[in-house]
Structure 1
């Protein structure tokens, strides 16, 4: 098995979150127990566990990004997520976090944002960052002040 990042997130409504992540990650959970579900998506190097309780949602984590190996993967996952009926915000060819990227964003039921992106190239000089995050977040129902998350770049 290849390496995966493990994320364990507390959610306010396990059923709603399970439904969202089934659509976003493209499959059923690999483990379901009372108050707990776990996903191991084939396309993303993540081991995602969800459980009830604890600190929840936006503010506990700024955002989670999945960097993929090609623009084609971004587009394939974007089409799948759209077909599943999730609200998405697309950013293609955007300069953000000192790199040019093709990406899309979704937001889970507790407000945690996920980006799926391909890094096209690093920006080496003082190129102007195109700060489109406030527009993206407004479309998804929240606000922020930086392209890479929160009020600081990552």
Structure 2
């Protein structure tokens, strides 16, 4: 089952954790010095914030899935629509190891679809980035490697 994912870059993590905890009526599921995540069931969303540089605001959107089979099915659905993707297997970012792919909508909004495999102790320990990827103050995101699709840098992850 898919879970909608939103990642927002914030200027002050503590202030934003207080705000979103109040908004969601729940404390973060994951809380680090530079990152927080809420895994909400109503609505079913993975809402993450980070204070690791980058432009304040929505960083990227996406879907978190429960299996690699579901990830593959969504990837094929996107490709069937003649949309380019950049695969990122075994990505190590945002305190998690995940299989994922990235794409970008026509307005330039980056989309990440991923299956989380487990936790890791660092925000961006990614050693599996493709040669066309760049950390850019965070982790795991591709850079202008998909012609006419991904045209700007993405600086964060799930």
Q: Normalising by structure 1, report the TM-score.
A: 0.51
Cα distance, 1:60–1:92 mapped onto 2, change above 3 Å: same
Corresponding residue SS for 2:126 = coil
Q: Which of these two proteins has the greater Rg computed from alpha carbons? A: 1
Asked if residue 74 in structure 1 is aligned to residue 71 in structure 2, the reply is yes
Cα distance, 1:59 vs structure 2: 7.3
Cα distance, 1:59–1:105 mapped onto 2, change above 3 Å: farther
CA–CA distance in structure 2, aligned partners of residues 61 and 127 of structure 1: 19
Cα distance, 1:125–1:95 mapped onto 2, change above 3 Å: closer
Q: Deviations over 1:54-88 (max 9, x none)?
A: xxxx9752101211111110011111211210011
CA–CA distance in structure 1, aligned partners of residues 110 and 56 of structure 2: 10
CA–CA distance in structure 2, aligned partners of residues 62 and 127 of structure 1: 16
Q: Deviations over 1:88-125 (max 9, x none)?
A: 11111111112110111111111111111110010136
CA–CA distance in structure 2, aligned partners of residues 73 and 126 of structure 1: 25
Unaligned runs of 5+ in 1: 8-44, 47-57, 149-153
CA–CA distance in structure 2, aligned partners of residues 127 and 62 of structure 1: 16
Q: Deviations over 1:13-32 (max 9, x none)?
A: xxxxxxxxxxxxxxxxxxxx
